[in-house]
Amino acid sequence: MKLIVGLGNTGTEYENTRHNLGFMVIDEICKKYKLATKFEKKLKADMCVTMLDGETIILAKPTTFVNLSGDSVVKIANFYKIQTQDIWVISDDLALDFGTVRVRVGGSSGGHNGLKDVISKVGEDFTRFRIGIKNDMLEKVSTEKFVLQKFNKDEQEKLNDIVKKSAEIVIDSLKSGVEHTSI
C-alpha cells in the first residue's frame, strides 16, 4: 500500500499557483485513471483509494494548507497503517529550475514548510517528488509571495506537459520502483 500526497493549498484563490503543483499532479493521476477524490473530514484530505498495478494506492490532497500538511499525512498513515517508507509526497521546489523533477528518498525539507511539517510528523524516510518552480522572478519578490503567485504566461504554456510528465514519473515509479533521479 502506498500513500501518494500532493501538497497544495485549498481554495479557488490558490488554484494554478506554484505552491499547488502537488495538487495538480494528483489531479492528473486521477484524470488518467478516471478517479474522483472525496473529502474525508477526519483525515483532513480530499482523497481516494484505488488499485494500480495490483497495489492499493491512496491519493491525497491535504486540506490543511501546505504548511500544516503533516497533520493530514500522519492521520492518513495511522488510519491505514502505512509505514513512512510507503509515503510519497509531491511538492514544488524553489531550488530547482522550472519544470525539473527530482525524485529522492529521505533527506531534508530543503526549506519547504510543507515538507518540514510532514518530516516533523512522520520522519524523513519518505519519497519526495519535487517539481522545480524557480525562475527569474524569484529574485524580485519574497519567497512567500512567489510560491502563491499564479504561473506566468511562458510557464502556463509548459505547465500541462510538466504536470503530465510528473504524473508519469510517479506512475512509472509504482511499476518499477523509486530511483533517485533528476529530470
pLDDT surpasses 70 at 64: yes
Region 133-155 average pLDDT: 85
Torsion of CA 137, 138, 142, 147, to 10 degrees: 100
pLDDT band at 180 (very low <50, low <70, confident <90, very high): low
The CATH number covering residue 51 comes to: 3.40.50.1470
Region 77-81 average pLDDT: 98
In this prediction the pTM is: 0.94
Relative to beta strand 101-105, strand 55-62 is unpaired
CA 126 to chain centre: 12
Region 128-151 average pLDDT: 86
Range of the domain at 82: 2-182
Number of independent structural domains in the chain = 1
φ/ψ of 181, rounded to 5, equals -155, 160
For the annotated catalytic residues, the residue numbers are 19
Average pLDDT, the chain: 93
